Amino acid sequence: MPNTIRRFARLIVKRLRRVTSSTSSPPVGRAVGDSNHEQQDIQDGVETENLNVAEIQNHASFDDVNAKSPSSSCVHLKLEECSSAEDSSDNEKEDAIRESEEEAAEELDTMRSLRIEDALNESRKMQDALETRPKTVNGRRLMKEFRFLRKASEDSEGAFEVFPYSEDGEGNDLSEWDIRYYKFDESSHLWRSMQDHGIDCVRFRISFPSDFPFSPPFVRLVSPYIENGFVMNGGAICLEVLTAQGWSSAYTVEALLVQVAAALAHGGAVVSKHQKRKQHKLTKKRAEAEFQRIVKIHSKYGWVKLDKEEG
């Protein structure tokens, strides 16, 4: 930069000298070659001046670029910082969105589990209510039936007795009854075999379902071991009235027991000679299994109808 200025200053000084010399000296006739030479010198000076001016402008522009370069680098740094800041902010936003989505998913899972638990609790409550409601009806009906049968046993002059049964012996539950028959038709084989074996009574166990009287009770023989007379393995009683198809809610327990006693007395039932040895076979589990089997068979082939005088 200083060298260019010096050159430009020298060129100006030369031109000033030429102008002063031309004004101070008288005009002298010049040859054609001298004038041409002078014009050439002027053109060369003008071109040199233009070149110097261009150099000065180029140098100035270069200095300006150099002067501006730190700011541009700063700008680049700022842009990079801004871009990195934007990237970090974008990452933070993505992380926040991901966390919010995870929280929402956890909340949905929690709500679903709570709803499922609530639904299960409601279903349990409804089931308990459904189980409790029939038991209330069951209890009133059973109490009425038990009182009526007790009165009938007193009027029968000792023909039969009824007791509430429970495994602990207290007899506080009416869901199972113990029925004891002391008398049958004296002309029946059952009555004669009882006299021969010294059997004073025939015991039955009657179990009531929770939806009684809409479903039939289950009746089975408890003792002694009896053969024939509609008595099956395990002590099951083969009668249509004890099935869901043959039962009616209008039936009373007394009428049911009359049919059971008539089936044994007029069906050829006898006390087994090996009744003491086979007594252990009269179990509730065996009786239920045998009853289900014979119900399937009779559902396919039909049931045997008792005569009116036998029932």
Active site residue 238: yes
Give DSSP secondary structure letters for the chain: -HHHHHHHHHHHHHHHHHHHHHHHSPP----HHHHHHHHHHHHHHHHHHHHHHHHHHHHHHHHHHHHHHHHHHHHHHHHHHHHHHHHHHHHHHHHHHHHHHHHHHHHHHHHHHHHHHHHHHHHHHHHHHHHHHHHHHHHHHHHHHHHHHHHHHHHTTSSEEEEE--TTS----SSEEEEEE----TTSHHHHHHHHHT---EEEEEE--TTTTSS--EEEEEES-EESTTB-GGGBB--GGGSTTT--TT--HHHHHHHHHHHHHHTT-EE-TTHHHHGGG--HHHHHHHHHHHHHHHHHH--PPPPTTT-
| Spatial CB neighbours of 260, under 8 Å, sequence gap ≥ 6 | 204, 219, 237, 239
From the candidates 74, 82, 201, 238, which is the catalytic residue? 238
> Per DSSP, what are the bridge partners of residue 207?
176, 218
Residues identified as active-site:
238
